[in-house]
Structure 1
Amino acid sequence: MIRDSSQSDIVKHTARSDAEKARICAANNADLYQAVFRAQGLPDQRTSAFWSSDVSAPPYYSNMTTLDPDATEEQLVEIGRLTDRLGRRPGFKDGFSRLELVNKGFHLLFSASWIWAEPHRISPRAPQDWARICDAAALGRWEHSWKESGSPTDANVFTPALLSDPSVHIYGRLAGDGFDAGCIVNRSPEAVGISNIFSLTGTPQAFRDAVSLATTAFSPDAPLVGYDRGAALNEMTKLGFRSVGKLRIWLSDDGS
């Protein structure tokens, strides 16, 4: 695996509180949202309080994700604006579990934990049979497997333009003509994020391999971050991650 030598913008680790770490996790996740939306040619905007988009979000993505636990008033104003603009209430990620929206036309889809692993906590290694996705044909096969693993949709979520974004790497484990496991790794100024881990074989090895890839994709001096719940959270905890905060995903009550 070749490291990107241009990662001098990633800040070296210093002592941080869990609240600060949760902010960094949320910012990294918003960076991935921004990359996915822009690769599809979709508009977006970002403030210190939130990231959002005025158009219908791709499957499994929200129209808004929060970035500041204390900016709830500004976030509620944006939810109202998006509702007017979209003609419905937007799904969104409450990055700090600060907003109560049951009485505002939303229902809670799920809760999850932001997770964090300190630099050098994970031993880097080169897992066998994994490759970085670098062309549209391979991306199509990768996304097919991703959908089969539990994310069914007729839409293409990850477009070839995403492969040209230097801050995003997509990896898959080779299996015949396709892939039976995969993940996405994205860099931010203060962290490297790992997400969309999947496996068609249902074994924990995919988690170990994905985390190993993330440690070498950009910078060994950056913390690894992400969010998970349930069995996936348990696997990541075994690998050296720990929870640093809670988030919630809200959807409209009207079923949109």
Structure 2
Amino acid sequence: MIRNSSQSNILKHTVRSDAEKARICAANNADLYQAMFRAHGLPDQRTSAFWSSDAIAPPYYSNMTTLDPDATEEQLIEIGRLTDRLGRRPGFKDGFSRLDLVDKGFQLLFSASWIWAEPRRISARAPQDWARIRGAAALDRWEHSWKESGSQTDANIFTPALLSDPRIHIYGRWAADGFDAGCIVNRSTEAVGISNIFNLTGTLQVFGDAMSLATIAFSPEVPLVGCDSGATLNEMTKLGFRSVGKLRIWLPDDGS
């Protein structure tokens, strides 16, 4: 039997192990971190073992995220270097739950799952009332709504520089006074990531809309990935995502 290129691409994704998928999820997330830090004009570095930055991280972002479950020695060295550079222990994302740092001055903030959905074909029609954010004023209104959904910072996290990055799409659902839902979609070499989903109305349709937007934004030929826990993880699972690995977020145990 002869398969066309589309069938071959989808088949190629289905034979990946969960370990491979978790690596792809972690790499996609690191791409988002890199874009966010660079949009703030902050330096960063990346190796096969980790992504990191010596700068003060924006709220809700870590100074380091791991990319290889077996490179723990390199990662511990980088944690030490960042501690020296920053003058304090960094917050970081252990992308494969391989590091236990309770006895090294860290506390576990929370655990979550990398999630994965195989490529799918859908109608190339955007969900109703959603739009891509393209200007600074709209982004400001979007961030205001995002903060209303549970943020505890007054800092401006999402800068207009993000809007000129072709790998990043920010979407919002229009409401009378701005946006009542939103998400961010980012394209990597092997996956499209969905993050920062917020919803001020309580309607579960938002999760399906985010999935549709991610597929439409870049390509139906690549998997969708993300990082979720709790109720959001449950909703994404209902839409066809499944957990392919665990991650943990660590903070200094002094609360900084």
> TM-score, normalization: structure 1?
0.94
Preserved CA contact (<8 Å) 1:30 1:65:
yes
Match of residue 79 from structure 2: 79
Residue of structure 2 equivalent to 1:5: none
**1:244 match:** 244
The reply on whether 1:108 has 2:138 as its aligned counterpart is no
CA distance 1:208–1:124, shift in 2 (3 Å) = farther
Aligned residue pairs, count: 246
Counterpart AA for 2:243: S
CA contact (8 A) 1:121 1:240 kept: no
Preserved contact between residue 50 and residue 75 of structure 1 (Cα < 8 Å): yes
Residue type matched to 1:63 in 2? Answer: N
Indicate the SS of the match to 1:162: helix
Between the aligned partners of 2:252 and 2:123, the Cα distance in structure 1 is 42
Q: Is the 8 A contact 1:124 1:213 kept in 2?
A: no
Greater length-normalized contact order (CA 8 Å, ≥ 6 residues apart) = 1
In 2, the alpha carbon distance for the partners of 1:241 and 1:107 equals: 29
Q: Do residues 31 (structure 1) and 15 (structure 2) align? A: no
Match of 1:210 in 2: 210
2 CA distance for matches of 1:51 and 1:38?
A: 13
Q: Judging changes above 3 Å, is the alpha-carbon distance between structure 1 residues 58 and 253 closer, same or farther for their aligned structure 2 residues? A: same
CA distance in 2, matches of 1:93, 1:62: 7
Structure 1 residue 254: deviation in Å?
1.0
Superposition map of 1:1-256 within 5 A? 12-13=9-10, 14=12, 15-120=15-120, 125-256=125-256
Deviations 1:107-163 (A, max 9, x none): 000000000000017776521000000000000000001011012211111100000
TM-score by length of 2: 0.94
**Alignment check: 8 A CA contact 2:72 2:99 kept:** yes
Could you tell me how far apart the structure 2 residues matched to 1:47 and 1:32 are?
15
In structure 2, what is the equivalent of residue 4 of structure 1? none
Contact 2:122 2:220 in 1 (8 A): no
Q: Residue 121 of structure 2 contacts residue 220 of structure 2 at CA under 8 Å; is this kept in 1?
A: no
Residues of 1 paired with 2:125 and 2:226: CA distance?
Answer: 20
- State the shift of 1:227 in Å: 0.7
Identity %: 85
RMSD: 1.3
Q: Which runs of 5+ in 1 are unaligned?
A: 1-10
Local SS of the residue matching 1:109 = strand
- Residue pair 1:112, 1:227 contacting (<8 A) in 2 also: yes
The CA deviation at 1:43 is 0.3
- Code of the aligned partner of 2:189: P
Look up the SS of the partner of 1:174 in the other structure.
Answer: strand
Cα distance change of structure 1 residues 239 and 124 upon mapping to structure 2, 3 Å threshold: farther
> What runs of 5+ residues in structure 2 fail to find an aligned partner?
1-7
| Contact 2:95/2:247 (8 A) holds in 1 | yes
Name the residue aligned to 2:4. Answer: none
* SS in structure 2 of the partner of residue 152 of structure 1: coil
| 1:70 partner SS | coil
Q: How far, CA to CA, are the matches of 2:151 and 2:97 in structure 1?
A: 24
